[in-house]
A and B are shown apart, each in its own frame.
Chain A
Amino acid sequence: MVRILVGTRKGLFIFVAGDERRDWTLEGPHLVGWEIFHAVLDPRDGSIHAATNNPVYGATVHSSTDLGVSWTRAEELGLPEESGLTLEKTWHVEPGREGENGRLWLGGAPGVLFRSDDGGANWEAVEGLVNHETRDRWHPGAGGMCCHSIQLDPLSPEQMYVGISAAGVFRSEDGGESWTPANQGTAADFLPDPFPPVGQCVHKVLVHPQQPERLWQQNHCGVYRSDDRGERWERLEGNGLPSGFGFPLALDPRDPDTAFVVPEVGAENRVTPDGRLGVYRTRDAGASWELASNGLPEPAWVAVMREGFSFDRLDPFGVYLGTQSGSVFVSADGGESWSEAASQLPPILSVEAVAWP
């Protein structure tokens, strides 16, 4: 079975289908009344964890160990008094590595990371980021200062990355204790110094699961690839990509040279270019890009949020995207063709797809 966890502004919708990934059945909605910024099924044990927000009751995490039938809420989640910071939003939950039982990571605003070692009941703020020496040079953008990308190197247990909007990419080589900016080569065209050490507006970062020294990044100012764990980034615009601006990013889990983006016209017109829902794919590590939108709607002026893009690990791998206008599109053949799995949902904030019985 394949499950798509669709986080919306009005709860969590789960779609289920067989491995052929057609004929999706809806379960839910769950967590009614909550905005689901991101939800993930933990491949270690099948538990579901959701970054949940409410304009009145704040930011938290909900977890389910029975595929959404019942939910518990985080008990302890907050920032230390002495930080002077208050948790504004929860953005992304990342399960720990195989063997790290109970460990989860949580990204939030204002530019904060938490760790849980008990499956999401209690969360401790990662002080190396809360008190980072460059924090006074981070400046929130329209989406707030959100820690939206958390990537664990699958081969090096102490190596991990975060991406924080308007702060940049940070790398830890000691399991999250200390953090080094990893922004060399990425632009911040909106600042007086266009290549500062920090302050870049990263929109999404992914580590390739089979070649973890290779990172991909969709940034406010371009699409980038790094082949040395974020030491240097190479800008990959042009050669078929209509715009460097966009939010989401997806990968081929087996081919490190293949990546997908969904560009938008630009920061001042955040819809897909050329009047179509355009997914663009590179198969040569970003040297060239091609439209991979067979079956996607046209004409269309659509937006896909930073968490609204996902891929599974089946063969052929599936690619999934959800739009702010409430449609879920699925490609069960690595982006060759697409079909609509659901429509008329509330605005979609996140999509995660995973094979789970």
Chain B
Amino acid sequence: MAVVLLPSLLATEAGGQQRFELEADTVAEALRSLPIANLIFDEHGDLRRLVNVYVDGVDVRDAGGLDAPLTGNETVRLVGAVAGG
């Protein structure tokens, strides 16, 4: 089971649930199964530009991208980029 952790705004949108335990073969599959998938991906399926994804603390862009396989023990953390005011 991979664990996905959401920041507070996304957890609110997910009905208050901040931690998800998921069976998924890839990072993308795990993220697309979340109830807040349409907030982190745009309508064409692209990850929004300011959404950062870390797998066991490593930016997924530097670790195989969203298609990187999950073995089942990873912690995937979603972090919104510092933006706004």
Contacts and interface: CB of A to CB of B under 8 A. Distances in A.
Contact of B38 (A54, A56, A77, A79): A77
A57 B52 CA distance: 11
B31 interface: no
Interface residues of A, number: 17
Interface in B8-43: 8-10, 12-13, 38-40, 42-43
Contacts of B10: 57
A192 interface: no
21 contacts: A54-B9, A54-B39, A55-B83, A56-B48, A56-B50, A56-B51, A57-B10, A57-B39, A57-B40, A57-B51, A58-B48, A60-B38, A60-B39, A73-B13, A73-B38, A74-B38, A78-B42, A78-B43, A79-B43, A86-B42, A87-B43
A302 to B, nearest CB: 20
Nearest to A75: B38
Contacts of B84: 54-56
A33 B42 contact: no
B6 to A, nearest CB: 11
A78 B80 CA distance: 21
Interface string A46-84: 000000001111101000000000000111011101000
Contacts of A79: 43
A32 B13 CA distance: 11
B70 to A, nearest CB: 23
Interface residues of B, number: 18
Q: Dominant SS at the A interface? A: loop
A204 B36 CA distance: 33
Interface of A: 32-33, 54-58, 60, 73-75, 77-79, 81, 86-87
Contacts of B39: 54, 57-58, 60, 73
Contact of A56 (B12, B13, B44, B83): B83
Given A56-B81, A86-B44, A87-B42, 10 more contacts: A54-B39, A54-B84, A57-B80, A58-B39, A58-B42, A73-B38, A75-B38, A78-B43, A78-B44, A86-B43
Contacts of A32: 12
Nearest to B41: A58
Contacts of A73: 13, 38-39
List 6 tightest A-B contacts by C-beta distance, closest first. Answer: A78-B43, A56-B80, A57-B39, A33-B9, A55-B83, A55-B84
A33 B13 CA distance: 11
Contact of A55 (B8, B42, B50): B50
A97 to B, nearest CB: 28
A32 B12 CA distance: 10
Contacts of B80: 56-57
A77 B42 CA distance: 9
